[in-house]
Amino acid sequence: MSDPLELNLAGRVLLAVHRYGVTEQSRIMVFVRAIMDVIAHQFPEERPSLRELEPLITEQLVLIQASLATSQAMGGMTICAPPPAVDLEQHADAPAQDAQQEPRHKPALNGNTAKSMEQKLQDGRKPVQKLLTDECVSIGLIDQAQADDMIRSMLGRQPEEAESAIVEQLRQILQDQVKSTIRQDKDGPWSTPQKQEELRKDIHAAGSVKSIVMLTRHIIKERRTWENENGKGGMLGLFAGRKRLVG
């Protein structure tokens, strides 16, 4: 295996399929060769750079994971990669060892099944994506560029796994904003160590993007209430440097 792209794919495929119990080198290479065939089919004249290939590679990895997940749910372990341009059964029959391990009476999953699974994954990611663009940006927690980056980071991942990683980022952003606000106004609404610790725990306990949004709204409301009660209107508050639409 001397092709740099093939080496790259081998590592990425291994990471993508090991959670499904697929560790045999021969099976991993089945998927690698299938993706290579899709790339060759899509770009018959000249192979683009790895960066340009990234969306296609990510799509193929997602479809492979969806196929394996569906196969496990059906109680089978049939090798299946989903690219429509490639008849993967030809690849799956190549290694004799795999042919012995894979009972032929088990039905192979087709590309339509894999695509159906990927559509379900996409639908599962949409609520979080909507919260990022419609809520997190509007309240100033993140800007649109950050939201776009987070949405891109969800590609090829299970919705729960992707949201968990995003929640960690949002927690840190919110924590940093709160710390900055506390430093700017030491007699503000979280002036005591006890209140600061309680707020830190609330942020740490937020386990979803929706709960982060709700907590952020509460924090902004608490800050504005304190400003109004203490005649501090116009001071730099939470997310003052961004467009704030929260009433």
Residues 90 and 176 in one domain: no
Cα–Cα–Cα angle for 193, 198, 203, rounded to 5 degrees: 125
- pTM tops 0.85: no
For residue 236, tell me if it sits in a domain: no
List the domain range (segments joined by +) for residue 155: 123-229
Residues 14 and 98 in one domain: yes
Q: What is the pLDDT of residue 125?
A: 85
The answer for residues whose C-beta is within 8 angstroms of residue 55's C-beta and 6 or more apart is 155
Measured CA to CA in angstroms, residue 67 lies from 61, 84, 108, 153, 161 at distances of 10, 13, 10, 21, 18
AA identity, residue 44: P
The answer to whether the Cα torsion of 137, 215, 157, 5 is positive or negative is positive
The number of distinct structural domains making up the chain is: 2
| 141-192 confidence digits (pLDDT tens) | 999 999 999 998 887 778 888 899 999 999 999 999 999 888 887 788 898 9
Cα–Cα–Cα angle for 202, 135, 196, rounded to 5 degrees: 20
Q: What is the pLDDT of residue 238?
A: 62
CA distance 219 to 178: 9
Residues 211 and 156 in one domain: yes
The answer for residues whose C-beta is within 8 angstroms of residue 121's C-beta and 6 or more apart is 62, 66, 158, 159
Residues 134 and 216 in one domain: yes
Residues 9 and 87 in one domain: yes
Q: What is the pLDDT of residue 112?
A: 54
Q: What is the pLDDT of residue 159?
A: 83
Check: CB of residue 198 under 8 Å from CB of residue 222. no
**Can you tell me which residue has the tokens 């309240």?**
139
Structure tokens, 183: 């430093």
For residue 96, tell me if it sits in a domain: yes
For residue 152, tell me if it sits in a domain: yes
Q: Using 50 as the pLDDT threshold, list the residues of the chain that sit under it.
A: 76-111, 114, 235-236, 241, 243-247
Residues 207 and 162 in one domain: yes
CA distance 246 to 239: 11
DSSP calls for 105-172? TSPPP-HHHHHHHHHHHHHHHHHHHHIIIIIITTTTSS-HHHHHHHHHHTTTS-HHHHHHHHHHHHHH
Residues 24 and 81 in one domain: yes
For residue 243, tell me if it sits in a domain: no
For residue 164, tell me if it sits in a domain: yes
